[in-house]
Amino acid sequence: MAKLEQIEKHLRQQNLLYKVVDLESEAFTVGDVVKSGIDEDEVVKTLIVRANQGFVALALRGKDRLDFKKVRKLLGSKAELAKPDEVLKVVGVPIGAVCPVLVGIPLYFDKKVMDLENVHMGPGDLMHGLEMKLSDLIKAVGDYLIEDLT
C-alpha cells in the first residue's frame, strides 16, 4: 500500500534509478498514459484480483489482456478483478495508480513483462507515471512470481 512519496523513498533507499513522469492529466487507463506520449510497448499495468486465498496483484504489459482461464487455473475458480472500492481499500490507491513496488500483497508478473528493458507504470498517483529499467523494478519489488497470465 504505497503512494508516490513512499515509492520514491523506497527506490532512493535501494539506490535504484527511476524517473517520475508528469502525465498532464489523470490517467486511469493505458490509453490515457499513451496520450501523454508514453510508448505503449513499455507500459506495465498492475491489476488487483480477488482470488480464493485473498487479493493478489498481477503485472502485465499494458497492451495485453488477462486470460482468465489461466488466472483461474492458477488462483482458483472464483478469481476475478477486484472492484474499484476493493482496490482502494487493499492497496490504498485508485485503479490506474497501482504500482507493483510496495504493493503489499502477493505479486505475479506475466512472463511477457520479463522481455521488456524499460517499463512505465502507475506510481500510486494518477497524475504521474514511473519510468525505470525492468532490472531495477525487479530489485525494487523483492518477492514475486512469474506466470503465463495472458
Q: For residue 133, give the C-alpha cell.
A: 529499467
Determine the Cα angle at 130 with ends 127 and 136, to 5°.
Answer: 165
Helix 4-13 and helix 134-141, axial crossing angle in degrees, nearest 10: 100
pLDDT one-digit tens code per residue, 74-133: 999 999 999 999 999 999 999 999 999 999 999 999 999 999 999 999 999 999 999 999
Where would I find the beta strands (DSSP E) of 26-122? 44-51, 54-61, 80-81, 107-110, 118-121
Q: pLDDT at position 52, please?
A: 87
**Res. 1 pLDDT band, cuts 50 70 90:** low
Q: pLDDT at position 5, please?
A: 94
**What is the chain's length?**
150
R_g of the chain, CA atoms, integer Å: 14
Average pLDDT estimate for 64-68:
96
Q: pLDDT at position 150, please?
A: 96
pTM, entire model: 0.95
CATH numbers and ranges of domains, the chain: 4-147 (3.90.960.10)
Q: For residue 110, give the C-alpha cell.
A: 506475466
SS3 89: helix
Q: What is the distance, to the nearest Å, from the Cα of residue 20 to the centroid of all Cα atoms in its chain?
A: 15
